[in-house]
A = this chain, B = another copy of it.
Amino acid sequence: MAEEPNQLTALANRLRLHSVLSNADVDALVRLPWALIARSHNSQIVREGDATKHCMVLLKGFAHRFRMTINGDRQIMAVYVPGDPVDFDHLYLPTADDSLQALRDCVLASVSQDALRELMIKRPMIGEAIVRALMVDASIFREWTLNVGQRDARARIAHLLCEITIRLEAQRFDFANTPIPLTQDQIADATGLTPVHVNRTLKALKGDGAIERRGGLIVAPNLDVLREIAGFDPRYLHLGSSNA
């Protein structure tokens, strides 16, 4: 690999968090035709109801997935970090049931579904790795339901921050210095709380030494405190072993 590292390497590494891929598989994956897409802060990536012909991999920046009630209340369903496939479920559901939006300026790789499906057939291990990644996502969705349904504001916010930090760490980000890419409004919409209460709870968490503020952003350098407050059990992330 003396040449310029391919952008899709990020996806390969992400898949390898949960699956074993041969070097040949990875080579085939990164040779897929892809297009770079830039999206600025807050712009839409996918809109609910869209018929999608492409799948996106987040390369830089952060994005989130959300859905709204008839009353206009927004629930954030997922926060994506670089390397994450953000809408590969559209391989199976041609109509988007959620919207995707950039949390920060983003760069994404867009891959045609046809090319992807062809590769998944030709290289079944890649197909399985992609579906496995989607199953891990589903486990995370369920944990969010538990989080919002059963934990109080303190533990709920701590759990969210904990998850994001651990996922960043898993993808080799320096979590102690990577700020959480969420505003307090967004934390509110991800946890089912109001921004006002999020603000007060964050203040309390800072008082406990669970988080710090650097230039208006939240960082979580001492994960252990946060873990304790959240009652965090990482099993749902399935990070322990490949093929689980």
Interface on A for B, CB 8 Å cutoff? 48-49, 65, 67, 69-71, 73-75, 77, 89, 92-95, 97-98, 121, 124, 128, 131-132, 134-139, 141-146, 148-151, 191-192, 231, 233, 235-236, 238, 243-244
CA distance A34 to B106 in the complex (A): 48
Contact between A244 and B95 (Cβ–Cβ < 8 Å)? yes
What 3 A-B pairs have minimum CB-CB distances, sorted nearest first? Answer: A149-B192, A70-B231, A75-B146
A238 engages B93 (CB within 8 Å): yes
Chain B residues lying within 8 Å of A233, measured Cβ to Cβ, are 70
A136 to chain B: closest CB distance in Å? Answer: 7
Residue of B nearest to A51 (CB): B244
Q: Are B149 and A231 in contact (CB under 8 A)?
A: no
Q: Using CB atoms, name the residue of chain B closest to A228.
A: B70
Residues of B contacting A137 with CB < 8 Å?
Answer: 138
**Is B231 touching A145 in the complex (CB atoms < 8 A)?**
no
A67, A136, A236: most-surrounded residue (chain B CB, <10 A): A67
| Bound complex: CA A98 to CA B238 (Å) | 12
Of A124, A145, A235, A243, most B-chain CB atoms within 10 Å: A145
Bound CA span A191–B150, Å: 9
Q: How far is the CA of A209 from the CA of B70 in the complex (A)?
A: 22
Question: Could you tell me if A231 and B89 are in contact, using CB atoms closer than 8 angstroms?
Answer: no
* A238 neighbours in B (Cβ, 8 Å): 93, 95, 97
Query: In the complex where A145-B77, A149-B148, A192-B150 touch, is A92 in contact with B135 (Cβ < 8 A)?
Result: yes
Nearest B residue to A129, CB-CB? B92
